[in-house]
Amino acid sequence: GENVEQHPSTLSVQEGDSAVIKCTYSDSASNYFPWYKQELGKRPQLIIDIRSNVGEKKDQRIAVTLNKTAKHFSLHITETQPEDSAVYFCAVYGGSQGNLIFGKGTKLSVKP
Amino acid sequence: NAGVTQTPKFQVLKTGQSMTLQCAQDMNHNSMYWYRQDPGMGLRLIYYSASEGTTDKGEVPNGYNVSRLNKREFSLRLESAAPSQTSVYFCASSEFRGLGYTFGSGTRLTVV
């Protein structure tokens, strides 16, 4: 089955710096790659997603890049702000798995 | 619109007790899911219902049962609670399987 690995597990940056979180997957047939943000004590919420026919997608300060050949995708947050502090989960869909498979999460801390 | 509503928000059970977690969505979504979230483990799928009238096991189904009561409602039952089931439980729904999940606010369950 699909295996999703997410790195790093924790990330601490200074306000204004950039943050990058990377996920790798194993099933080359996977075709949908969302990212979720979960603030402390809250529900996960979809922040950006990308499909396999696109290499990059941006939405203001966040972007996702996909390398299908290498089977990895990354979340990029620029000009980080304290409100970006949260746990971020990548997920993968498609291939032999009929449901989203989540990474184990990255706890991002943005220090003012 | 309420989105995905879960009840209760908090629950403490004694080992061996039973309970049902309720989930309802008002978005006319076809697919519904139950996940558990444990520290360092990410989100693990317990059961899912791809469409009304169907249910299937996910990654960690042991000790749980589900019922897709109608298109709106999907309940999770613990027949004989164990301390290993202490977790935060999230219900989610999507229009199509695997895509565009909306999560409920979660149920924090403690089994003593």
Distance from C-alpha of B78 to C-alpha of B15, rounded to nearest angstrom: 11
* Per-chain mean pLDDT for chain A: 94
Interface of B with A in 51-110 (CB under 8 A): 58, 90, 97-106
Residue A49 DSSP SS3: strand
Q: In the prediction, which pLDDT does A98 show?
A: 77
Q: In the prediction, which pLDDT does A54 show?
A: 85
A32 has a pLDDT exceeding 80: yes
Residue A84 DSSP SS3: helix
Query: Do B103 and A44 count as a contact with CB atoms less than 8 A apart?
Result: yes
Distance from C-alpha of B112 to C-alpha of B45, rounded to nearest angstrom: 23
pLDDT, mean of residues B6-29: 97
Query: Do A46 and B33 count as a contact with CB atoms less than 8 A apart?
Result: no
Reading the block at residue B64, the tokens are: 């749980």
CA distance B93 to chain A (A): 12
Nearest CA in chain A to B58: A99
Q: In the prediction, which pLDDT does A99 show?
A: 86
Asked if A66 and A54 count as a contact pair (C-beta separation under 8 A), the reply is yes
Helix (H) or strand (E) holding B57: strand B56-57
Could you tell me the sign of the dihedral formed by the alpha carbons of B37, A1, A54, A24, in that order? positive
A30 has a pLDDT exceeding 80: yes
Q: In the prediction, which pLDDT does A1 show?
A: 74
Contacts of B43 in chain A (CB under 8 A): 44, 89, 102
Query: Do B42 and A102 count as a contact with CB atoms less than 8 A apart?
Result: yes
Percent of chain B topping pLDDT 70: 99
* Per-chain mean pLDDT for chain B: 94
Q: Which of A90, A85, A11, A77 is nearest to A50 (CA)?
A: A90
Q: Is the peptide bond preceding residue B39 cis, with omega within 30 degrees of 0?
A: no
Residue B84 DSSP SS3: helix
CA distance A110 to chain B (A): 20
Query: Do B99 and A42 count as a contact with CB atoms less than 8 A apart?
Result: no
Query: Do A45 and B103 count as a contact with CB atoms less than 8 A apart?
Result: yes
Asked if A90 and A6 count as a contact pair (C-beta separation under 8 A), the reply is yes
Distance from C-alpha of B80 to C-alpha of B18, rounded to nearest angstrom: 5
Q: Which of A13, A39, A11 is nearest to B103 (CA)?
A: A39
Q: In the prediction, which pLDDT does B1 show?
A: 62
